[in-house]
Structure 1
């Protein structure tokens, strides 16, 4: 299967072309903002380096979050637009699922952690092949409690690991990997294995947005306080 993978959900902008599990071209640029300006150029570059036409792609994979609200929507919009233009399936990959599958060496349990700010972490915990905590937003204390149940065999992966350890320095764990984004190879593997019907390219939001609509229209008087 020949596929293009895209990730703009976290601290990097990724575009890569794979033929089955063989990387034909990879671009991975760390960045916290500016994904919209870079993504198109990265996709153009990897397709040119791979030496394959766009219509040779069988599938497009894209991260759906959780992550930066603006960043993940950049990747989703680009992937969906390209998929529609090429008439190719687009599959969504959870950022937490990709992080939890990212370690090179096997460990009994993996906790994928993303800094959600406001005293929370986005969390997914895998024990062996079973997901024991599905993607959700937890307080730092609640996340630490769940991870403590698996200590010291659990590995911590993602930019939320530092947040957890700073808050809970006595927490025991097997390994720590502060990677800023999933690897392209893991994204390709999960994208190739995904069922398009069960993995739609829709944003995964684990809590309500920080911004809320205004309670009144411009020019309307404020409601009196009861």
Structure 2
């Protein structure tokens, strides 16, 4: 999509990020670390990115959004925003896995590793000899068969995973939102589809222990 304007954003972890691409050039971006407050910060950040580039919402060709896996609330915030914007603007919204975003523009065998609660990590392999499909794995239960020459680990849990597998550690080629936008720009649009959260674990919130109310006729 040469010169198409693609807006990407991600709030799936302890950050809020947005990036605007014109073709393959990133022309404006923001990334702020935050453990909470993404719901209040996301839309103002998107407005700032558009204003910096001197464009309006109606100039956008498509939207890319990080769909997780990650923080439940953060993922819902971004996906809901992307769906609403796509509907109001009449443009497609493309959901992108944050592990795909971590591995964007990498080379060689890569294991994307994003930290998850309770000593676990979201993992997915790219160009690895032993295929590693998307999964949630305890860091003390990693499969030693995943080790291979020149393996590189990327992501917030990369150091821990690399230590177990004897692999290298490298930073992601792009900030999360920019990677999301770059992948979304290349994805085929499937009519009628909308981005949806990618969850690999049960919600942290426990169901209510009180019995449901009695409905009287």
TM-score band, normalised by the shorter chain?
0.7 to 0.9
Q: Corresponding residue for 1:109?
A: 109
Aligned pair count reads 209
- Contact (CA 8 Å) 1:112, 1:124: kept in 2 or not? yes
Alpha-carbon shift at residue 174 of structure 1 (Å):
2.6
Following the alignment from structure 1 to structure 2, what is the Cα–Cα distance between the partners of residues 131 and 81?
Answer: 39
Alignment pair present for 1:194 and 2:203: no
Q: Corresponding residue for 1:224?
A: none
- Contact (CA 8 Å) 1:115, 1:163: kept in 2 or not? no
Q: Corresponding residue for 1:92?
A: 95
* Structural mapping, 1:27-106, within 5 Å: 27-101=30-104, 103=106, 106=107
Classify the secondary structure of the residue corresponding to 1:196: coil
Q: Which of 140, 152, 168 in structure 2 is aligned with 1:174? A: 168
Alpha-carbon shift at residue 77 of structure 1 (Å):
1.1
Classify the secondary structure of the residue corresponding to 2:182: helix
Alpha-carbon shift at residue 170 of structure 1 (Å):
5.3
Structural RMSD (CA): 2.5
Alpha-carbon shift at residue 163 of structure 1 (Å):
3.7
Q: Greater strand percent: which structure?
A: 1
Unaligned ranges ≥5, structure 2: none
* Residues 1:183 and 1:211: Cα distance change in structure 2 (over 3 Å): closer
Q: Which of 193, 204, 209 in structure 1 is aligned with 2:198? A: 204
Q: Corresponding residue for 1:223?
A: none
- Contact (CA 8 Å) 2:13, 2:71: kept in 1 or not? yes
Unaligned ranges ≥5, structure 1: 221-226
- Contact (CA 8 Å) 1:123, 1:143: kept in 2 or not? no
Q: Corresponding residue for 2:9?
A: 6
* Residues 1:102 and 1:68: Cα distance change in structure 2 (over 3 Å): farther
Classify the secondary structure of the residue corresponding to 1:134: coil
- Contact (CA 8 Å) 2:69, 2:200: kept in 1 or not? yes
Higher mean alpha-carbon deviation, 139-148 vs 5-14, is at 139-148
Following the alignment from structure 2 to structure 1, what is the Cα–Cα distance between the partners of residues 164 and 92?
Answer: 46
- Structure 1, residues 87-109: CA drift from partner, whole Å, max 9, x if none? 11101000011112254xx3x21
Higher mean alpha-carbon deviation, 207-216 vs 8-17, is at 207-216
Following the alignment from structure 2 to structure 1, what is the Cα–Cα distance between the partners of residues 22 and 88?
Answer: 21
Classify the secondary structure of the residue corresponding to 1:124: strand
Q: TM-score, normalised by structure 2?
A: 0.85
Q: TM-score, normalised by structure 1?
A: 0.82
